[in-house]
Amino acid sequence: MTDLAWIGAALTSARPQALSALLRYFRDLDTAEEAFQDACLRALRTWPKNGPPRDPAAWLILVGRNAALDGVRRRQKQQALPDEELISDLDDAETTLAERLDGADYRDDVLRLLFICCHPDLPATQQIALALRIVSGLSVKQIARAFLVSESAMEQRITRAKSRIAGADVPFETPGAVERAERLAAVAAMIYLLFNEGYSAAGGEALLRATLGDEAIRLARLLLRLFPTEPEIMGLTALLLLQHARAPARFDADGNIVLLEDQDRSLWNRAMIVEGLALIDKAMRHQRPGPYQVQAAIAALHARAARPEDTDWAQIDLLYATLEKMQPSPVVTLNRAVAVSKVHGAEAALAMIEPLAPRLSGYFYFFGVKGAFLLQLGRAEDARVAFDRAIALANTAAEAAHIRLHLDRLIKDSATGGDAKASR
């Protein structure tokens, strides 16, 4: 590993803390970003020569702040200021600043930075694009590639999002407990959205969009380090790790969807699974269940099954029932029905999803799952109708191809079971 690679990693990891402290100081996102950029450039100049500072974030905050002030003063009075290399060698200043940054201040700073990206006026796609740009520090080009849009379109989207939050009230006072909890929930939801944006991709797109999953996990870990005793944040991090662990097995070489029960489980990322299981274990001890923990627990049961037939479907059914109570939604019921079909058979499952039809009439997975149940019941003609409907509603080519596979099998008259979303 070269010096440059190490410096790159240090700058990336210090970014949320340094940028959020600069934002608190300047109360303006553009100024804070410029100050941080300036500090990074100076770090690239001085760190290889002087060696890395003990606390890279504190160094960047101090140097960034001084550089920005320097610029302001120059514009105002053309007044000379001390060289940043002198300042950066003042170990004492660095230490006091670092001490001041420890603990609550730093935590609320980073939470604020994340929370700004979750502004309710911003549509979800703008929220996550902004978080990737501001918090993760991805380039516009990288973000554009992950969202499968042109660089100029993404540039525009981010600029628009930024100007919208610039006009909005950004709360700089230290949040109270209730406010902090609300911010935490909004940020967790944004990270979850970011992950799903990558997770819903397929085939060749999936490779491009894998960045989104990686970044979502990085942000979840960051959040968990700030709030290490929050069981829902443990649950969220566990959920993302357990889902992302299956990424290498979710598509075959041609980009086709591979169902959970057909996946080569040796391709699953063991390190991520181990970490996810450890986190869900920790979370459960708190006995304060929430939707992320329950979903993580479901993912954990899949991860723990060495073979598909070892899956504890009865437990998954119970967990979905819990989730239904916490977050009543036809999609949750649809997922539960898949577990029900494994435990009680396709007939019970079909009865469960039939009432959902009016609300899910435009939903690809509904017809995919329904078709699979009908197929299991030997109702080939009804299954064909459901699959045709699913193809018409497919969001990606891979989804359509997957259903077509079902239809082909149907034609070959070799009825086999399967489901769509829950087992992807």
Partner 1 sequence: MLYAILCYDSEDVVGSWTKEEDAAVMAKLGVVQEKLAKQGRLGPVARLLPTTAATTIRKGREPLVIDGPFAETKEQLLGFYVVDCESLEQAIETAKDLARASSSAGAFEIRPISVFNSVGSVK
**Tokens representing residue 21 in the block:** 């402290």
Shortest CB 265 distance to partner 1, Å:
20
The total of other beta-carbon atoms located within 10 Å of residue 181's CB is: 14
β-sheet bridge partners, residue 243: none
> By C-alpha distance, which of 145, 143, 263 is closest to 204?
145
Contact call for residues 143 and 158 (beta carbons, < 8 A)? yes
| Burial annotation 289-304 (CB, 10 A radius, 16+ → b, else e) | bbbbbbbbbbbbbbbe
Q: Which is nearer to partner 1, 103 or 120 (CB)?
A: 103
Contact call for residues 280 and 297 (beta carbons, < 8 A)? yes
The total of other beta-carbon atoms located within 10 Å of residue 351's CB is: 13
DSSP structure class, residue 169 = P
Q: Which is nearer to partner 1, 18 or 319 (CB)?
A: 18
Q: Which is nearer to partner 1, 11 or 87 (CB)?
A: 11
Sign of the Cα torsion 392, 393, 398, 401 reads negative
Q: Which is nearer to partner 1, 6 or 172 (CB)?
A: 6
Shortest CB 232 distance to partner 1, Å:
13
Contact call for residues 19 and 33 (beta carbons, < 8 A)? yes
| Burial annotation 228-261 (CB, 10 A radius, 16+ → b, else e) | eebbbbbbbbbbbbbbbbbbebbbeeebbbbbbb
**Tokens representing residue 112 in the block:** 């604020």
Q: Which is nearer to partner 1, 7 or 149 (CB)?
A: 7
**Rule CB under 8 A: which residues touch partner 1?**
1-3, 5-6, 8-10, 12-14, 52, 54-56, 102, 218, 221, 224-225, 228-229, 234, 237, 274-275, 278-279, 282, 285
Half-sphere exposure of 210 (CA within 13 A, CB side): 12
Shortest CB 214 distance to partner 1, Å:
9
249 vs 337: CA distance, rounded Å: 24
Q: Which long-range contacts (CB under 8 A, 24 or more apart) does 103-107 make?
A: 104/174, 105/21, 106/17, 106/20, 106/21, 107/226, 107/227
369 vs 337: CA distance, rounded Å: 9
Shortest CB 246 distance to partner 1, Å:
17
> By C-alpha distance, which of 156, 126, 239 is closest to 192?
239
Q: Which is nearer to partner 1, 161 or 297 (CB)?
A: 297
Shortest CB 63 distance to partner 1, Å:
17
122: helix, strand or coil: coil
Q: Which is nearer to partner 1, 98 or 410 (CB)?
A: 98
Contact call for residues 367 and 390 (beta carbons, < 8 A)? yes
Shortest CB 274 distance to partner 1, Å:
7
**Tokens representing residue 8 in the block:** 């790159």
Q: Which is nearer to partner 1, 229 or 414 (CB)?
A: 229
Radius of gyration of the chain (CA): 25
Shortest CB 3 distance to partner 1, Å:
6
Shortest CB 220 distance to partner 1, Å:
9
Shortest CB 417 distance to partner 1, Å:
36
Q: Which is nearer to partner 1, 190 or 217 (CB)?
A: 217
Q: Which is nearer to partner 1, 68 or 194 (CB)?
A: 194
Shortest CB 356 distance to partner 1, Å:
37
